[in-house]
Structure 1
Amino acid sequence: MTEIAPIQLDPSFDSVWDELVYRGSVHVSTDPEALRELLSGDPITFYCGFDPTAPSLHLGNLTQLIIMRRLQLAGHRPLALVGGSTGLIGDPKPTSERQLNARETVAEWVTYLQAQVLRFLSDEGESAVRLVNNLDWTAPLSTVDFLREVGKHFRVGTMLKKDAVASRMASDEGISYAEFSYQVLQGMDFLELFRAYGCVLQTGGSDQWGNLTSGTELIRKAEGVHAHAIGAPLITDADGRKFGKSEGNAVWLDAALTTPYAMYQFWLNQDDAIVGQLLRAFTFLPKSRIDELEQATLDAPFRREAQRELALQATSFIHGADATQQAIAASQALFGSGDLTALDAGTLEAAVSSLDKQATATPDAPVLQLLQETGLVESLSDGRRAIAQGGVSVNNERIDDPAATLDGRLLHGRFAVLRRGKKTLAGIDAGA
């Protein structure tokens, strides 16, 4: 197995800007030449914001965290803003109003997200990450002061042209004043961080471009300084469908919400058409290795070498090497080339629950009955023939007796993998 790549910049690039462009991390930006010069010079302070609208960050946020990590490796100083203020409102969705969460819930989620950020960004050295919360400067601000000091710099006509606002204005539901004002709050964040820390760059998703430029424009009007923004492309599947909680297919960075096994399988199952793009965006592999993997996909796509490397590197970055090795072991064990008994309970549960065919059972349930219930066989007589032919196993141990039960065969006293033939599997949970 290939080793996990060190978390470092690719020395084949002259500047971190060139690497970000190669990685596909720049979909839109302010002046590219000015950014290249800025990022090739002395360390700057930059920021990215994460709103606590859920108890965990997700794959779209990981895009930004990796961009921040690359900039940090180049010596630049990251500010990670977890929006205790903006999280109380939420940025406008293109289709409908967000449901407002309780203040106590948002405050709790702030702490969760701050802890997650520290898993991916270093808090040591001269480029250590600094955590900031926009509730610290919005809570003391009166409405009148907000309108006088910040609101006066915004023009309603310009705000109405922002993509998210325009799409909501054209919808039957319209948009509330609260969500309409979100771009003003985010712009104020950039101004505050510019004044407090000299922050001159904000990164975000390309769908946030209107909010990003609200900040650069506010700094220009209030301070006479040209700040910068980078909008990264949205992460989509091979059909162009976005991954995210609003689409109902979020891949979470919290292991309790998306297990390391499920994370590993997510990367492993990516389409050949986008695996190169994902290798560039979500790993620290050098260009030379990515070129090799893309060529391997062209030469022998059935080997899925690029997907296996992507799954190893990305899952290790998110959950660590040990959890990734457990996920790999589970994947191998499910298909008969590994030891199911060596898996911990959490990994085994994730593996069993990932199978298309499922059944709950009592600890002494007959194997023959479960074969039929899970659809591995069409009838009990079909099941008896499969057992007689040596084609049935429980937890990779062949079943010879048609009267056999799960008794004594459950792993961790609860789980079983029922198999007919080599590749037809069902997950059994006797503890649900």
Structure 2
Amino acid sequence: MDLKNYGLEILLSTLGIPDLFRPYIQGQDAKLELMAKYLKGDLIEETARDPLIPKVNLLLKEIEKDIEENLPPNLPYVKKWYWPNWKEYALCISHDIDKISESRSHIWKIRERFSKMTVLKALLGISNPYKNFKSFMKLEKRYGVRSSFYFLANEYDFEKISKEIRSLKENQMDLGLHGRFGTHTNQNKLIEDKEKLEQIFGQSIHGTRQHFLKFEFPTTWDVQNKSNLLYDTTVGFNDKIGYKIGFAFPFFPPDHNLNPLQLIELPLIIMDAALWTWLKLTEESALQTIQQIRDTIKQYNGLFTILWHQCTLKMRGGRIYGKVLEKLVDNSVYVSNGAEIARWWRARNAFQIKINPIDNKITILFQNPESIQNLGIIIKAKQKLEIISISSNLEIIQKTPTELKLTFLKGDSGELELKMV
């Protein structure tokens, strides 16, 4: 597959539009090729200079506008909404488990990063400021959040956190793999670590993030895909925040031949360490910056992936995590973990829309092979729309003379018959 066709596949998948529209995607070759270059990691030097603009999202919007204009009068524009229940954007919360303890001498050495009380309790052996699973779960339960926790396979004694792992599982958190150094290019090592964690957890591992965000385009994706992982969420900046590949949506990354993989990439937008270590932000300015990025992603109905390290919750900076949840979690957002978001995106991608226009009548068939629920459907026309018949599993959310919003509630299939007048 060439750059243009890979870009086209990502366009169709992300916008959620049917193959029928392919002939109306005209004059877009340069933009499609540019999208592909961003997503395969060719333009990272450019995005690093201007990291706060999601350039691929911008390109998608521009092309989508042209597609709508190019459609003939008797063919409505039909697309799938991005997130469940018409949520405006998605928020993926995740935590890397780099360490679960440190020596008292180390804590004393970096004591300025903690409050005096936290340091005192640590030195007296009353509490461990590096083990915060319980505190994370308590905070997240308050906001209805189920996040992802990525574990290194050989870094700590799992017996010492067996109760915490059991609680994470009981709270339906996503337990994933934090790939150690070298696994980003070594399939055997990655599978070895994955299988070790699966044995410890007693369940399958679905997602990963490479330690220190180590990544090699496109080799790491290929290694992860061949390791039977559902998703990765490594691709993001270490030393800044923003859109490393210009994109704030899940997508199917390319292999060496530019064919989309089964693996899903959830681009990382903010890592907590970048806020404090590299950008040197105050807690107040960091909170404002996070909200500004949220506003941009919400504008494009995209995916906002955040990494907040498990060991930082009691540190200066890291302690604002509760405020971050307070500012971000509301009725407009679909907030979940990496596994649930990746499953949603895969099921959405599999959902098929087939349009049969005959004269002034339109029959739209929906096929749902992966049993997705509460998927929004938008229908826009250049003429007035009248509903002739509609399946019982399609719920009308909003109707104007030329636009229709429906929710596909559940089921294997559905059908809608329209008349254009």
Shorter-normalised TM range = under 0.3
Q: Which gives a bigger RCO, structure 1 or 2 (Cα 8 Å, sep 6+)?
A: 2
TM-score where L is the length of structure 2: 0.25
Of Structure 1 and Structure 2, the greater strand share is in 2
